[in-house]
Structure 1
Amino acid sequence: PGRRRLRTARRAGLLAAAGALALLSFEALRRVGFDSISGTLLASSPTWVIVALALMCGSMVLRAGAWHAILRAAVTDVRPKLSDALQGTFIGVLMSATLPARLGEPSRALIVARRLGRPREHLPVVLGTLVSQTLLNLLALVILGAIMFSTVGLFAGRQQALVFYALAPFVALCVVLVAPALLRSGLPSRSSRVAQSLDRARQALTRVRSGLAVFSSARHAAVAVTLQLGAWAVQWASCYVLFVALGLDDRANLGAAAAVLFAVNVTAVLPLTPSNLGVFQAACVAVLTGAYGIKTADALGYGIILQAVEVATAVIMGAPALVKEGVSWREVRLRALHSSPVSLPPRGSRGAFETD
């Protein structure tokens, strides 16, 4: 009964938030003008939109390649395949596009751990590799931030926000590195159950820390850094191509594309809605109108098309991956939402996700 009430309250909260977001979005569209926005969307070049979509898909492939290099450095008892990283990345992108709170991250870790076999043992290590990839994403964002701050004056005096944002992953990294020592076995405890729980937590965190092994291998690190930064560069190009598609490239240059890409990623640190809907467009409007003098209707139209391209990428890449994996969207969603331990069977069991 308690869990049922909690589930009902959670659903009611999500529905209320979705309703509020819908009302705010409608009001924003009404103020800007439906005709102006629709005119911007209809005036876009389908050819250039398709080019942007292809670039976005290519970016996902490069991200998977970078993750594969990280996995190979971290997982030593089996040899991760490139297809493992591709499947996990594509499904994770799809889940991120359709679920709030970055639930695509645990989803892709679950998929890869399942494909590697012995998922209970491999899941902490795979989660550790996500930390490594997050650090590479941080490097890319710092580069984008530097480009943005050097080309626009909108953020002048606000560089401190970039510093605070950059510190967050490093704090998480320190926790991962130090926590196993703090939870070392032998600590006095009045409860054997507490002692066992602490020991299991220490072992899991130690395996998570092994996911950072890529930084101790020059070869794997070079591949991971090159591919991950390459993925960001391709995504950056995709953002610029959409300016061309909308005829905004005479006012919005590569610096504008970097600013948009930086802004939408900073606002998506913990998205409250699937695909960060609403906030995504607001970030685009704030950057393009405030720094480049682009009309609100054009900026909002750009935000709508950019997000449509990202969601289309998630569906094009993720839906076939789900079919190939033999699991349903609902199964992956349930495992990503539940924080209780799960036993993920090897791929021999077609799509069966079982709880303990």
Structure 2
Amino acid sequence: MKPLRLLLGITISVVCLWLAVRNVPFSDLATALTGARCVWLALAVLVLLLAIIARAKLWATLLGGGVRLADSFWSEGIGYLFTNVLPLRMGEPARVFVMAKRSGLPIVQVATTAAIERLLDVIAILLALIAILPWMDVPHPVRRAGFAFGLVVLVVVLALIVLVRLNSRGERLLRGICGYLPFIPMEKTLIIWQELVAGTAILFCIQVAVRALVLSLATWTLSAGAYFCFLRSFQADATFVEAIFMLVAVCLAVSLPSSPGFIGVFQWVGQQALVLPFNNKYDHASALAITLTLHLITYVFTSLLGVIGLSRFGLSFVNLRKNIAEEPKNHKIEDELTLNASYGVDCHKSIQK
């Protein structure tokens, strides 16, 4: 299955890259690239760094007060590195694995908070899309698609609420299911359930939830700010509406299978996000120049953060990849994995630095 996914991803990347460059004369692309203003590019990198710091702080907040911001930040960086150079989105398991080792928390619990972080991302993308639609001339099908997307988000949020609120009743239900289906390991299943509940319950502490929402908003505002700076380096009258729409389009597109680093998909979707709704400002050459520059700088910068993170944690890329692959085989049910009932409930401890 994995080889097929990899082949599909590479095929999609190649096709998208061809679509992005097929109508762009090389001379026009070179002219657009040489016209970039370096001051705005430098500012974009700075804002991008602030966005990553805000995201790291968000993850540390979701994990609880005992997690250091530095551990979260460098784990994020390592995740970016793995996503950039390995197929099949290895960045997510990489950052979860490293954070679990650094924090001493159960790996399923850490993975759950990472999933919550992504859920907040989806909500932020939805809100951003809704916010800019009134400022754009979009056809009715696009509005319907936005409504459908919002419905999906609502279902996911409701499922999350049910997951946490069931708690002990959900555990009894699982016990009953495992009793009728003996091939399901009851003890392991219950431990995973407890870790999932603990990981999501922290959002029902008002202080933590508010702090997480503020940090999520800050993360995406800074991300849009970075995109705006990249646009301004090529287009003097670029606006935040263009930056936000490009950011939303790219974030939705990278959910498709692709090669490592989203090469091809990023360039074509980013290009079309500028050309189709804003063709009075951007042609195919200038839009491709922007997406190529944005992707290259982001790719190099985030990969560098990952390399530094590996060095700071005393890890090697090869060994970490091997450990991640072996983790499911080595995961054993141990008494110490039983969760402390106070985790995610004591708000005072959760919001301490």
TM-score range for the pair, normalised by the shorter chain length: 0.7 to 0.9
Paired residue for 1:333, among 321, 343, 353?
321
**Matches of 1:188 and 1:342 in 2, distance apart?**
23
Range with greater deviation from structure 2 (56-65 or 321-330): 321-330
Say which structure, 1 or 2, has more relative contact order (CA 8 Å, 6+ apart).
2
* TM-score between both structures, scaled by the size of structure 1: 0.80
Q: 1:49 offset after TM fit, Å?
A: 0.9
**Matches of 1:186 and 1:15 in 2, distance apart?**
41
* Per-residue Cα deviation, 1:215-265 (whole angstroms, up to 9, x for no partner): 22122222221122111111101111111111x132x31100010000000
Consecutive unaligned residues in structure 2, runs of 5 or more: 333-353
Q: Is the contact between residue 129 and residue 212 of structure 1 (CA under 8 Å) also seen in structure 2?
A: yes
Q: Which residue of 2 aligns with 1:287?
A: 273
1:256 aligned onto 2:246: no
Q: Is the contact between residue 289 and residue 296 of structure 1 (CA under 8 Å) also seen in structure 2?
A: yes
Q: 1:320 offset after TM fit, Å?
A: 0.3
**Matches of 2:109 and 2:5 in 1, distance apart?**
34
Paired residue for 1:135, among 103, 107, 119?
119
**Matches of 1:181 and 1:163 in 2, distance apart?**
34
Paired residue for 2:233, among 221, 242, 245?
245
3-state SS of 1:272 partner: coil
Q: Which residue of 2 aligns with 1:210?
A: 198
Q: Which residue of 1 aligns with 2:100?
A: 113
Change over 3 Å in CA distance of 1:172–1:127 after alignment to 2: farther
1:148-159 matches, within 5 Å, as: 148-154=132-138, 156-159=140-143
Change over 3 Å in CA distance of 1:343–1:237 after alignment to 2: same
Paired residue for 1:161, among 145, 168, 188?
145
Q: CA RMSD, aligned part only? A: 2.9
Paired residue for 2:129, among 142, 145, 149?
145
Q: Which residue of 2 aligns with 1:349?
A: none
1:309 aligned onto 2:297: yes
**Matches of 1:172 and 1:101 in 2, distance apart?**
23
Q: Which residue of 1 aligns with 2:58?
A: 66
Q: Which residue of 2 aligns with 1:265?
A: 251
Change over 3 Å in CA distance of 1:335–1:229 after alignment to 2: farther
Change over 3 Å in CA distance of 1:44–1:281 after alignment to 2: same
Change over 3 Å in CA distance of 1:241–1:189 after alignment to 2: same
Range with greater deviation from structure 2 (272-281 or 297-306): 272-281
Q: 1:159 offset after TM fit, Å?
A: 2.3
Q: Which residue of 2 aligns with 1:84?
A: 71
**Matches of 1:42 and 1:297 in 2, distance apart?**
12
Paired residue for 2:85, among 93, 98, 101?
98
3-state SS of 1:313 partner: helix
3-state SS of 1:32 partner: coil
Percent identical pairs in the alignment equals 22
Q: 1:339 offset after TM fit, Å?
A: 7.5
* Per-residue Cα deviation, 1:66-108 (whole angstroms, up to 9, x for no partner): 11111107xxxxx222222122212112222223343212211
1:227 aligned onto 2:211: no
Q: 1:189 offset after TM fit, Å?
A: 5.1
Q: Is the contact between residue 40 and residue 298 of structure 1 (CA under 8 Å) also seen in structure 2?
A: yes
For 1:325, give the aligned amino acid.
Answer: F
**Matches of 1:249 and 1:163 in 2, distance apart?**
33
1:48 aligned onto 2:32: no
Q: Is the contact between residue 62 and residue 113 of structure 2 (CA under 8 Å) also seen in structure 1?
A: yes
Q: 1:147 offset after TM fit, Å?
A: 2.6
**Matches of 1:188 and 1:69 in 2, distance apart?**
34
For 2:321, give the aligned amino acid.
Answer: R
For 2:253, give the aligned amino acid.
Answer: T
For 2:110, give the aligned amino acid.
Answer: V
Change over 3 Å in CA distance of 1:133–1:190 after alignment to 2: closer
1:157-196 matches, within 5 Å, as: 157-168=141-152, 171=155, 174=159, 177=163, 180-181=170-171, 184-187=174-177, 192=182, 194-195=183-184
Range with greater deviation from structure 2 (91-100 or 46-55): 91-100
Q: Which residue of 1 aligns with 2:28?
A: 36
* Per-residue Cα deviation, 1:298-327 (whole angstroms, up to 9, x for no partner): 111111111112212312321100111122
1:18 aligned onto 2:10: yes
* TM-score between both structures, scaled by the size of structure 2: 0.81
3-state SS of 2:64 partner: helix
Change over 3 Å in CA distance of 1:290–1:128 after alignment to 2: same
Q: Which residue of 2 aligns with 1:76?
A: none
Change over 3 Å in CA distance of 1:249–1:339 after alignment to 2: farther
Change over 3 Å in CA distance of 1:333–1:51 after alignment to 2: same
Q: Is the contact between residue 107 and residue 335 of structure 1 (CA under 8 Å) also seen in structure 2?
A: no
- Aligned residue-pair number: 324
**Matches of 2:320 and 2:139 in 1, distance apart?**
39
Q: Is the contact between residue 103 and residue 336 of structure 1 (CA under 8 Å) also seen in structure 2?
A: no
Consecutive unaligned residues in structure 1, runs of 5 or more: 1-5, 74-78, 345-356
